[in-house]
């Protein structure tokens, strides 16, 4: 599975961006997909996941929305009310199969994902 992320950019605080990630190579219909981010000097952290349910990190709840297209080949992250602390490289990821599809707590763990996109940079200026 190859994942291609796009949509990052520079935005002012309070603004919005929409990230996209499209899978190719193999089907991800039964896979959970998620977004993680990594700020400079920090560990990669969970942002949001889409499996049986959508789940979010506390830091983005109410501001970010994850969704998938009907064919389940793509995952999106609508990011509203962006803040400078949201500045990071954002990575999309997919699991290999449906093992964790309904386990929201597991989908917050980086090691549960088998496939990763190349990352897209989001910079929020104050």
Q: Is the pLDDT of residue 70 over 90?
A: no
pLDDT at 72: 86
% of the chain exceeding 70 in pLDDT: 100
pLDDT at 27: 84
Mean pLDDT taken over the chain: 96
Do the Cβ atoms of 19 and 8 come closer than 8 Å?
Answer: yes
Q: Is the pLDDT of residue 26 over 90?
A: no
Mean pLDDT of the region 81-107: 95
């Amino acid at each position: 599975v190859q994942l291609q992320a796009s949509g990052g950019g520079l935005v002012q605080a309070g603004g919005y961006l929409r990230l996209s990630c499209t899978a190719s190579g193999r089907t991800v219909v039964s896979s959970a997909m998620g977004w993680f981010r990594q700020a400079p000097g920090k560990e990669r952290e969970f942002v949001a996941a889409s499996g049986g349910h959508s789940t979010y990190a506390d830091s983005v709840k109410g501001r970010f929305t994850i969704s998938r297209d009907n064919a389940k080949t793509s995952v999106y992250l609508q990011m509203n009310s962006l803040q400078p602390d949201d500045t990071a490289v954002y990575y999309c990821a997919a699991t290999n199969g449906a093992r964790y599809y309904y386990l929201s707590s597991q989908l917050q763990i980086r090691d549960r994902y088998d496939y990763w996109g190349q990352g897209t940079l989001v910079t929020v200026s104050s």
